[in-house]
Structure 1
Amino acid sequence: MMAMFDRDKIRFAIMPTCWTNDDFPWVGDDIPFEQCVSEIALAGFEGCSVGHKYPTDLPTLKKELGMRGLQVSEPWVSLYFTANDMADLTIEAFRKQIAFITEMGGERIVVAELGNSVHQLANVAVLPNKPVFDDEQWTRLVDGLHEVGKLTKEAGLDLCYHHHMGTGVQTRAEVDRLMADTDPDLVHLLLDTGHLLWGGDDPLELARAHADRIRHVHLKDIRPAIMEEAVAKRWSFYDGMMAGVFTVPGDGCIDFPPILQTLADAGYEGWFSVEAEQDARKANPLEYALKARAYLREVVGF
């Protein structure tokens, strides 16, 4: 088959959330860091994000990842521009992550506004309780993104905004507003297929609408029967995740080839990061990592 992308310009990563979870640290708590990164490499991936079990000493982290041929695909930074008196702390945390990813040789920083977010609250229904920003909060978010976007650009990096379940930028309409209100030279978009579908929108249509802004991609699939139950029964993000609403590409209902082709046609370069927050006791992480890599090899051509 013809490859959609230039092999030299695309890399594949997988998130440690298939093994252990930062939002809910007790999920996969028995799996050590070394097992996680060894299995990431064994499954054929080139990179990963970082999690709470990773060494904080950078020489140690570099050595452990280097032995396995892995790079850091992205750091995550939680933003709180819409929360009261949190802007300075947000900027301070952001500067630390710029220093970290620069030292690790990465090119992207992933951010999401978590002011009043509910996805980390295990007993709160995620869809009906997500925050809805008023105009003042939108202004604070956009201004804050422009500020960290300038810091990111000065460091030679790309700022990629992650629309996320349970936050104020979850739906297609909210993503559209964010893209319309932000400077395309400073704020790029992270496409997360699974978050968008559970939120009630079509990831293919979003990819088509904003392909020129997408600089990072999380490939997350959805088990439709579980998603329908999660919506009908007003589950929390945690309940949906633990029930198995998320899975790896090729194991759910999302049709990935048209999405990937849309990005290829737009000249996408960089990371494709598989992400499937699952209960490791139900979904063996290595098994699902191998399944994801095999599917991507089949669809993308390498």
Structure 2
Amino acid sequence: MRIAGAPISWGVCEVPGWGHQPAPGRVLAEMRDLGITATELGPAGFLPAGRRERDELLASYGLELVGGFVPLVLHDPAHDPVPEAERALDDLGGGTTLVLAAVTGLDGYDRRPALDTKGWCTLLANLDAICALAAGRGRGAVLHPHVGTMVEGRGEIELVLGECGIPLCLDTGHLLVGGTDPSWLARTATPRIAHVHLKDVDARLAGQVRAGHTGYTEAVAAGMYRPLGRGDVDIAGIVRSLESAGYEGWYVMEQDTVLTAEPPPGAGPCADVRASLDYLAEACLAEGAP
């Protein structure tokens, strides 16, 4: 089964002041106890910095590392992101995917500057350079369209698809919040999809974020991301579409959350991830995928 977990489902996030973040031991143990056998990395500082120590820790919980979310400034002509990408690839190790987000350089995901032609040219060139760098090391790199980054909406995604060659991370939640139908992208851009983040979304709260009535972080804290099958994204249909087109990558379950305190054992994020796993077993695996 190509289903992985992610620390963000336990409220572990790279954004300063995001909320209470449980210790790695609890997060990894709950992943293991739920039957999850693979995970993404989580933000810098969550797991040990040394690869050997980190890999030994993950192995002690029966977990394989499948990738890592790496936010980089890619649009600034005065900034070279390649050395950061090289370090990230070294840290991740073989067999993993570098999941890039074209961040603004500001803290958080609640605002973003407009991008001019020079900025777009720089961003696209950096995406191709990092993609080639990863391929040269036998690894994958994907761009993650993400709310509050320089690649958020449908027009920006189409520009990336048309003007550079990097594959995409299809994040069903960020796409919907950013105004793109994830089912449409799964159908029309399947050859460019190399990694998947499965999220379900409360479309009402997503609409408030798009309209500027609610900040992104505020909406996440209010429960914009729902356990799979309890929101407004056709998760089962997207998985079936990808599988029927020959997708062979990972499905990383992500229900971004903001915690205010340590939840009781077995409750909070653990219960939500269990509900998502149950949904996948009933709605997707019964039809032969993934």
- Same-fold call, TM cutoff 0.5: yes
Residue identity opposite 1:211 in structure 2: T
Write the distance in 2 (CA, Å) between the matches of 1:146 and 1:135. Answer: 17
Provide, for residues 226-250 of structure 1, a one-character-per-residue CA deviation record: whole Å limited to 9, x for no partner: 3344445622211111111112321
Q: Could you tell me which residue of structure 2 aligns to residue 268 of structure 1?
A: 247
Cα distance, 1:272 vs. partner?
Answer: 0.3
Match of 1:115 in 2: 104
Say if 1:24 and 1:299 are closer, same or farther in 2 by CA, change over 3 A: farther
Percent of aligned positions with the same letter in both sequences? 27
Tell whether the 8 Å contact from 1:117 to 1:167 is kept in structure 2 after alignment: no
Task: Calculate the aligned-residue CA RMSD, in Å.
Answer: 2.0
Q: How far apart are 1:116 and its partner, in Å?
A: 5.1
Read off the aligned partner of 1:130 and give its amino acid letter.
Answer: R
Higher relative contact order (CA 8 A, sep 6+): 1
Instruction: Structure 1 unaligned segments of length 5 or more: list them.
Output: 1-6
- Please report the TM-score for the alignment, with normalisation by the length of structure 1: 0.86
For 2:250, what is the secondary structure of its paired residue? strand
Ranges in structure 2 where 5+ consecutive residues have no aligned partner: none
Check conservation: 2:131, 2:142, Cα contact below 8 A: no
Distance between the aligned counterparts of 1:144 and 1:228, measured in 2? Answer: 31
Residues 142-195 of structure 1: per-residue CA shift (max 9 Å, x gap):
111111111111111111110000112111121111011012xxx111101111
Deviation string 1:32-89 (CA, Å, 9 cap, x unpaired) is: 11000111111121211223321113222112211211111212222222124211xx
Partner of 2:61: 68
Structure 1 residues 250 and 115: alpha-carbon distance in aligned structure 2, compared to 1, 3 A threshold: same
* CA distance 1:284–1:172, change in 2 (3 Å): same
Displacement after TM superposition at 1:132 (Å): 3.4
Distance 1:62 1:208 in 2: 35
| 1:1-302 correspondence runs (5 A) | 7=1, 11-19=2-10, 20-29=12-21, 31-51=22-42, 52-87=45-80, 90-102=81-93, 105-115=94-104, 120=108, 126=110, 129-183=111-165, 187-232=166-211, 234-281=213-260, 284-301=268-285
The alignment partner of 2:119 has SS state of helix
Q: Could you tell me the TM-score, scaled by structure 2's length?
A: 0.89
Alignment check: 8 A CA contact 1:162 1:190 kept: yes
CA distance in 1, matches of 2:67, 2:190: 20
Aligned letter for 1:250?
Answer: G
